[in-house]
Amino acid sequence: MKQKGKPGSCTQDLVSLRRDFHRFPEPGFGEFRTAGIVADFLCRHGFRVKIADEAMNMAAVHHRDESKVAESAERAVAGGMDKGLIERMLGGGTAVVADIGPLSGPVVAFRFDMDALPIQESNDQSHLPAAQGFASTNPGLMHACGHDGHVAIGLGLAAALAGLGDSLKMTVRLIFQPAEEGTMGAAEAIVDRGSMNNVRYMMCCHLGLGLPTGAIACRSVFLATSKYAVDFFGAESHASNEPQSGKNALLAAASASLALHGIGAHSDGWLSLNVGVLRAGESQVIVPGRATIELGYWADKNEIHDYVTDRVRQIIKGSAETWGVVAEQRLIGRAPIAPQSGTLANVIKDCAVGMPGLTEARDWVESRVAEDGNVFLAEVANMGGHGAFIIIGSDIKGGHHTPSFDIDERSLALGVSLLSKVCLQLLDD
C-alpha cells in the first residue's frame, strides 16, 4: 500500500492489511487499534481525518459494553498504542470519518465497519487463518463476519483515491464505523455529528452473504430491527415464611416473554421476535424481586417494526402491572429498513459489467438480518439522495458468525476495483 492510486493492483497489500486486522479483532466501541491504524493510513494518504467526538456523538449511542471496551483499551495500551489517542476514543468513540476532494459541495460517501464478534476462533488446521498463522490473538474475539476485509477494502479505496490528487470533482467521504453488530447506535451517532450533510450518494458494502466470489449485488434488503433490555423491579420475600410480601419479578418476566412471543403475524409482511435472555432471582427460597429480559425483533417493513414496537411497550407495561412490579425498558440497538436507489444501482451495475473477474451483477439480494448501515441509507434517502448497499460476493468457509468463518481474499481486490470505479463514475456525473 506504499504506492498510491492504482486501484486493483495492490492485492498483496490488501491481503496483508486484512490479515493484520484479522489477528487483532476488537469488540464494538473498542476498535482502538483498528481505528488508530485507519486514521493514520488516511492521514498519510491525504485525507482530512476526524476521530472520536469529531466523528460521532457518543450521547446518541444506545448501548456500550463498558467492561469489554475497557479490556480492549488495556490491550491497545499493551500493544504500544498512544494513550492519549485511546483516551480520546474512550470518551468520544472509535469512529473515523475522512474526506478528500473539494471542501464544499456534494459528497459521495462510503461506509466500512470495523468491529469483531465475541467468538473464539477455530484453531483447526483446516481453517486458513490458523494454518497460516493469522488467526485471532485476542481470546474470545474474532472477525467472523468479514469486517476485517471491509476495512481493508476501505483503505484500498482510500489509496486509489489518494493518487487522484486535486482532480476530484466532488468530495469523497469514507466513514469507518464502530459497533455495527448489535446496531447499538454507532451509525446514528455518526449521522448526529453531521457526517451525512451534503451526501448525494451513499454506499455500504458487505462481503459474502451468500454471493460467490465474482458475483456482486447492487442493492440488498435488510430487516428493520430493535433490541431492548427490560428490568423488572419487584420485592423479595421469604417464599414460605411470608410469600404474600413478595412482588414476583420472575413471573412478570416470564409472562412478558410468553406474551411477547404471542405478538402475531402482520398481513403486510414478515416479522420475528425473540426474547433471548431472561435472568431472575438468586435463591429457591426467596420470591424473586429482580428480573431482566433482553429481546430483539425484526420486520421487513418499517411499519411492521413500529407495530411491534407499540405491542412490546404495551406488553411490558401490562405484564409488570399484572405482577405488581415496575418495568424499565432500555433501547440497546436499532436499525431501519432503507429505500435504495435504482439510479445508483444502475450506475453500479454498469461499472461492474465487464470488470475482470466479475461473473454476475445482480440487482437485489435479500437477507433475514439487520444492518446498521441502513441508518446511513435511510438518511440519504430522506434527504433526496441515493443509497445502495452493495454485496461483494466471496466464497465463504464456515458460516457467518461461526468459529471457522473465512472469506475468499480474492474478493478484496474486486471490491476495491468496483468501489473505485463507481466512485469515479459518480464524480464524473
> Considering only residues 22-51, where is the footprint of its own copies by CB under 8 A?
none
Residue 56 Cβ, how far from its own copies at the closest point, in Å?
Answer: 23
Question: In the complex, what is the shortest distance from the CB of residue 343 to its own copies, in angstroms, rounded to a whole number?
Answer: 27
State the DSSP code for 311.
Answer: H
If one asks whether residue 326 binds its own copies (CB under 8 A), the answer comes out as: no
Cβ proximity of 308 and 275 under 8 Å: no
Please state, as a whole number, how many other Cβ atoms lie within 10 Å of the Cβ of residue 428.
8
Query: Cα 17–175–305 angle (5° rounding)?
Result: 115
Give the one residue of 140, 163, 212, 281 binding its own copies; rule: CB under 8 A: 281
Cα(142)–Cα(119) distance, integer angstroms: 5
Residue number, 160 or 253, with CB nearest to its own copies:
253
How far apart (Å, rounded) are the C-alpha atoms in residues 171 and 86? 29
Question: Within 332-391, which residues bind its own copies (CB under 8 A)?
Answer: 332-333, 368-370
Least distance (Å) between residue 94 CB and its own copies = 22
- Eight-state DSSP code of residue 161: H
At its nearest, how many Å lie between its own copies and the CB of residue 247? Answer: 10
User: For residue 21, what is its C-alpha cell?
Assistant: 486486522
Binding segment (CB under 8 A) for its own copies, from list 81-89, 292-300, 345-353, 414-422 = 292-300
Interacting stretch for its own copies, rule CB under 8 A, among 105-113, 310-318, 375-383, 385-393? Answer: 310-318
* 29-37, 293-301, 345-353, 376-384 -> range binding its own copies (CB under 8 A): 293-301
Shortest distance (Å) from residue 288 CB to its own copies? 6
Could you tell me the smallest distance in angstroms from the CB atom of residue 235 to its own copies?
13
Q: DSSP letters along 238-271, please?
A: ETTT-GGG-B-HHHHHHHHHHHHHT---BTTB-E
| Binding flag, residue 250, its own copies (CB under 8 A) | yes
**C-alpha–C-alpha distance, residues 328 and 229, integer Å:** 8
Nearer to its own copies, 41 or 389 (CB): 389
For residue 125, what is its C-alpha cell? 488446521
- Does the footprint of its own copies cover residue 405 (CB under 8 A)? no
Can residue 220 be called a binding residue for its own copies (CB under 8 A)? no
**Applying CB under 8 A, does 254 fall inside the site for its own copies?**
yes
Which residue number, 127 or 290, has a Cβ lying nearer to its own copies? Answer: 290
- Asked if 120 interacts with its own copies (CB under 8 A), we say no
Q: Are 397 and 406 in contact (CB under 8 A)?
A: yes
| Residue 275 sits in the site that holds its own copies (CB under 8 A) | yes
Q: 399 exposed, middle or buried (CB, 10 Å; 0-12, 13-18, 19+)?
A: exposed
Closest CA to 51 of 83, 17, 95, 84: 95
Q: Give least dist CB 309 to its own copies, A.
A: 13
Report the 10 Å Cβ neighbour count for 197: 11
